Amino acid sequence: MARDPRYDPLFEPLQIGPVTAPNRFYQVPHCSGMGFQRPRMLAAMRGIKAEGGWGVVCTEYCSIAPSSDEGHYPCASLYDADDVRNLRAMTDAVHAQGSLAGVELWYGGHTSANLDTREVALDVASLPNTATHGMPAQSQAMSRDDIRAFRAMYRAGAERALEAGFDIVYVYANHYYLLHNFLNPYFNRRDDEYGGSRENRVRLLRELIEDVGEVIAGRAALAVRYSIASDFETDPELLECFRLVAELPDLWDITVDDYDLEMGSSRFVREAANQAAVAKIKSLTSKPVVSVGRFTSPDTMLAQITGGVQDFIGAARPSIADPFLPRKIDEGRLEDIRECIGCNICYAHNSLGVPIRCTQNPTMGEEWRRGWHPEKIQKRHADQGVLVVGGGPAGLEAARALGQRGYTVILAEAERELGGRLNRETRLSGLSEWARVRDWRLGQLRRMPNVAIFPQNRLDADAVLELDAEHVIVATGASWRRDGVGRHSNEAFAGHDSDAVIGVEDVLDGRLPDGRVVIYDDDHYYLANAIALQLSTAGCAVTLVTPADRLAAWSGFPDEHSGIMRSLYAAGVEIQTAQALVGFDSGVARFAHVHGGPDASLDADYLLPVTAREPDDTLWRALNARADDLAAAGILSLQRIGDCRAPGIVAQAVYAGHRAARELGSATPRARRDRVVL
């Protein structure tokens, strides 16, 4: 298929200083959870992006000195010749596909706890550490000598960037790191030539642009990552600072200074949410501008270019969900694009200090470790058939990947609609974009003549044995428990069998209670609070109770927590923390304070526990107990995957389905470990 000519502007080359980007698709610097610790994984992942058509592919933030140490988060670094060699692997992989490679030179300032190096962080002032782990430590206020040394440090980083083969070198001036703090009068209260007036506060940024420009002159482009207030009309300070340096670099990479808006989850932030601020910046400079907006629609991307909002389509999460997004637009295969769902599972795992992964793209992070390619998969090992039982996230992905390999696949689903848990959960407010996990896979499956789909077919063991399939994959999901068993307690609470105790599936299937509802959240992620919002909107008086010290604590990793709390307070949901459910009787839910504080008793017409799930593995257990019958029926393998094996997040279920399909008929390869061997 050929590209729709409407999208031609997305594929026009554009000069950035001394280099030329082959198109307008720009993978901005984004975290990977790999960093300097996993250089081969990092190089393979970025190389795949370039193969997929991203004209510019950048690193994550790249530390220029040990006093900017982000541990435990893995980041890139350019301290020495070893770092140069490691990052050369990335630039080589990107250049092999004809794309430009960019590096974001980073110094964290008071955000860096330096837990690994134990160095003292420098900043505009002595500011308390603001890393997620919140160390009780402060930065060192920079003297003039420190500033001179810092400038030399940046120059050295730029020299090493050239040695590593980068085409675009960044000065990083946002996200409340050191340079942003010099610009911001909230932090910069210095009384020397680097504080006070706007000209003084911009001085260090100007000097670094000039320093790096001298180092890389004619050999690489100079980019600056910069942020302004999302409400720049009422908070114009950073915008006014921008005017003083608007023409200095070769490229501006623009964000807003509200991280919840810049990379907010789809529950709270829609596509292209930052573009008013980006358009304002674009109107103030003649230099090319790139920005993100979780762009998933090619038409939205096109509008950014043709409308003059920006010159490049910046992407982090959409390039993770589909590294081949540009190529699919170029080839006229829009229906094949795996659209980002904005769940921020990628960011969550970087926050956990491990390689990123993706709900939509199960190969993310496995390009080198397991040799997985997002578009290519090995052909079937034999002319055999596979029965997949269950059409939830795991079963859909298993059937899709098996179909791609060329197997004859039967996909049987007990319910009328395929999608499993996604069908229910995506009806909740803010979760509609998660339906893309189901819809993309159904779209792919319906185009595969070797895959037969049978909804409303609840199979038992005898029915499975009668079908003509050499391999059986059971993906029958899991069900939410009603008895309160979860992380905090492995015992059921007294009164769990009351008719007034309702299950998660009841609510998700539309059987809504009324009156006073207490939701007990021992899951700590999105579901309990999403249900609380739904019930509150329906008119219930809702109280959310958790045994944890912080409601929805795990949601902090995908950076959803503040959005969740704001929405709950706005909806009038009452919240109680550190209370463990012990009983429910006669319309009263009883709780014990986990730290010995005052217990709680709450009047409730209904109690809804959101705790643990029970794997629905009855079919697998029945088949697994009939080894002789399996052999007689010619069934060579039986496995269970996804939630019916081990309940988890949707991303884990999709990964399980993909892995089962990849490994069918072959010895399970050991995942390679990316490490330094002495």
Q: 624 with 608, same domain?
A: no
Q: Dihedral (C-alpha) 442, 446, 452, 453: value to the nearest 10 degrees?
A: 40
Give me the pLDDT at residue 575, please: 98
Q: 457 with 551, same domain?
A: no
Q: Is residue 379 part of a domain?
A: no
**Contact present, 116 and 162 (Cβ < 8 Å):** no
Q: Is residue 357 part of a domain?
A: no
Q: 20 with 107, same domain?
A: yes
Mean pLDDT of 156-182: 97
* Closest among 612, 413, 609 to 519, alpha carbons compared: 609
Give me the pLDDT at residue 72, please: 85
Q: Which two tokens stand for residue 631?
A: 């052999």
* Strand, helix or coil for residue 392: coil
For 406, which DSSP code? T
Q: Is residue 360 part of a domain?
A: no
Could you tell me the sign of the dihedral formed by the alpha carbons of 307, 310, 312, 315, in that order?
negative
Please state, in angstroms and rounded to a whole number, the distance separating the CA atoms of residues 186 and 183.
Answer: 9
Half-sphere exposure of 63 (CA within 13 A, CB side): 25
Q: 463 with 547, same domain?
A: no
Please state, in angstroms and rounded to a whole number, the distance separating the CA atoms of residues 526 and 512.
Answer: 19
Q: Which two tokens stand for residue 570?
A: 């706005």
Segment 374-401, tens digit of pLDDT = 999 999 999 999 999 999 999 999 999 9
Q: 538 with 647, same domain?
A: no
Question: Residue 559 sits in a domain of what CATH number?
Answer: 3.50.50.60
Please state, in angstroms and rounded to a whole number, the distance separating the CA atoms of residues 130 and 137.
Answer: 9
Is 177 an active-site residue?
Answer: yes
Helix or strand (DSSP H, E) at 622 = helix 618-624
Counting DSSP H helices and E strands in the chain, the numbers are: 22, 27
Last residue within a domain, chosen from 351, 371, 396: 351
Give me the pLDDT at residue 213, please: 98
Give bridge partners of residue 607 from the DSSP assignment: 501, 518
Q: What is the mean pLDDT of the chain?
A: 96
Q: Is residue 35 part of a domain?
A: yes
Is 106 a residue whose pLDDT tops 90? Answer: yes
Mean pLDDT of 234-255: 96
68: CB partners within 8 A, 6+ apart: 106, 107, 108, 109, 112, 114, 121
- Block residue for tokens 């807003």: 256
Catalytic option among 177, 407, 525, 606: 177
How many independent structural domains does the chain possess? Answer: 3
Give me the pLDDT at residue 677, please: 63
Question: What is the DSSP code string of 318-377?
Answer: HHHH-TTHHHHHHTT-GGG--------HHHHHHHTTS----SS-TTTT-TTTT---SS--
**Contact present, 596 and 580 (Cβ < 8 Å):** no
Backbone angles phi, psi at 443, to 5 degrees: -60, -40
462: CB partners within 8 A, 6+ apart: none
Q: 257 with 303, same domain?
A: yes
Q: Letter for the amino acid at 6?
A: R
Q: 198 with 217, same domain?
A: yes
Segment 597-609, tens digit of pLDDT = 999 999 999 999 9
Segment 316-331, tens digit of pLDDT = 999 999 999 999 999 9
Mean pLDDT of 70-88: 93
Q: 493 with 470, same domain?
A: no
Q: Is residue 14 part of a domain?
A: yes
Is 131 a residue whose pLDDT tops 90? Answer: no
pLDDT over 90 for what percent of the chain? Answer: 94
Question: Residue 9 sits in a domain of what CATH number?
Answer: 3.20.20.70
435-452 residues labelled b (16+ CB within 10 A) or e (exposed): bbbbebbbebbeebeebe
Three-class secondary structure assignment of 77-94: ECCCHHHHHHHHHHHHHH
Please state, in angstroms and rounded to a whole number, the distance separating the CA atoms of residues 71 and 65.
Answer: 13
Please state, in angstroms and rounded to a whole number, the distance separating the CA atoms of residues 198 and 195.
Answer: 8
Please state, in angstroms and rounded to a whole number, the distance separating the CA atoms of residues 426 and 506.
Answer: 15
Mean pLDDT of 293-302: 96
Segment 254-283, tens digit of pLDDT = 999 888 888 899 999 999 998 999 999 999
Please state, in angstroms and rounded to a whole number, the distance separating the CA atoms of residues 492 and 259.
Answer: 40
Give me the pLDDT at residue 258, please: 85
Question: What is the DSSP code string of 272-314?
Answer: TTTHHHHHHHHTT-SS-EEE------HHHHHHHHHTTS-SEEE
Q: Is residue 674 part of a domain?
A: no
Q: Which two tokens stand for residue 549?
A: 């010290």
Is 589 a residue whose pLDDT tops 70? Answer: yes
Q: 461 with 495, same domain?
A: no
Q: 605 with 630, same domain?
A: no
Give me the pLDDT at residue 77, please: 96
Could you tell me the sign of the dihedral formed by the alpha carbons of 40, 42, 44, 46, in that order?
negative
Question: Residue 399 sits in a domain of what CATH number?
Answer: 3.40.50.720
Please state, in angstroms and rounded to a whole number, the distance separating the CA atoms of residues 342 and 357.
Answer: 13
Quick one: how far is CA 279 from the chain centroid?
A: 26
627: CB partners within 8 A, 6+ apart: none
Segment 413-471, tens digit of pLDDT = 999 999 999 999 999 999 999 999 999 999 999 999 999 999 999 999 999 999 999 99
Could you tell me the sign of the dihedral formed by the alpha carbons of 265, 268, 271, 272, in that order?
negative
**Contact present, 128 and 181 (Cβ < 8 Å):** no
Please state, in angstroms and rounded to a whole number, the distance separating the CA atoms of residues 415 and 427.
Answer: 17
Q: Is residue 186 part of a domain?
A: yes
Q: 629 with 607, same domain?
A: no
Q: 548 with 653, same domain?
A: no
**Contact present, 52 and 96 (Cβ < 8 Å):** no
Q: Is residue 378 part of a domain?
A: no
Please state, in angstroms and rounded to a whole number, the distance separating the CA atoms of residues 510 and 508.
Answer: 5
Give me the pLDDT at residue 678, please: 59
Q: Which domain holds residue 562?
A: 482-614
Burial class (CB in 10 A: 0-12, 13-18, 19+), 589: buried
